[in-house]
Structure 1
Amino acid sequence: MASPESVITTLLATYVQRLDAGDLAGVAALFDRAKVFVSGNQIGAGSPFVEKLLSDTVILYEDGTPRTRHVLGEPSIQIDDQGRAAASCEYTVTQDGPDGEYVVMVGRHHDTFVVDDEGDWHFASRDYGDITHVGDTSRHLRS
Structure 2
Amino acid sequence: MNNSAVEITNLLYRYAEKMDGGDLEGAAALFRHARIKVQSRDDLIDEHALLLVWKQHIKIYPCGTPRTKHIISNPIIEIDEASGKATVRAYYTVFQETDEIPLQPIAAGRYHDTFERIDQTWRFSFRDYSLLELTGNLSAHLKGFFPFAW
Q: TM-score, normalised by structure 2?
A: 0.87
Residue number in structure 1 paired with 2:111 = 109
CA distance in 2, matches of 1:64, 1:103: 20
> Contact 1:35–1:42 (CA<8 Å) still a contact in 2?
no
CA distance in 2, matches of 1:37, 1:106: 17
Residue number in structure 2 paired with 1:23 = 23
Residue number in structure 1 paired with 2:136 = 135
Structure 1 counterpart of 2:62, one-letter code:
E
> Contact 1:18–1:27 (CA<8 Å) still a contact in 2?
yes
Residue number in structure 1 paired with 2:54 = 54
Could you tell me how far 1:57 is from its partner in structure 2?
A: 1.8
Could you tell me how far 1:82 is from its partner in structure 2?
A: 1.0
- Summarize deviations over 1:112-133 as a string: whole Å, max 9, x none: 00011x1100000111111221
Aligned ranges 1:65-80 → 2 under 5 Å: 65-80=65-80
Q: Report the aligned-residue RMSD.
A: 1.4
Could you tell me how far 1:138 is from its partner in structure 2?
A: 1.2
CA distance in 2, matches of 1:76, 1:57: 30
Gaps in structure 2 of 5+ consecutive residues: 146-150
Moved over 6 A (4+): none
Structure 1 counterpart of 2:54, one-letter code:
L
Could you tell me how far 1:43 is from its partner in structure 2?
A: 3.5
Q: 1:32 to 1:91 in 2, by over 3 A?
A: same
Mean CA deviation greater in 65-74 or 47-56 = 47-56
Number of paired residues? 140
**Structure with the larger strand share:** 1
CA distance in 1, matches of 2:87, 2:41: 14
Could you tell me how far 1:110 is from its partner in structure 2?
A: 0.6
Gaps in structure 1 of 5+ consecutive residues: none
> Contact 1:40–1:127 (CA<8 Å) still a contact in 2?
no
Mean CA deviation greater in 19-28 or 48-57 = 48-57
CA distance in 2, matches of 1:23, 1:121: 21
Residue number in structure 2 paired with 1:83 = 84
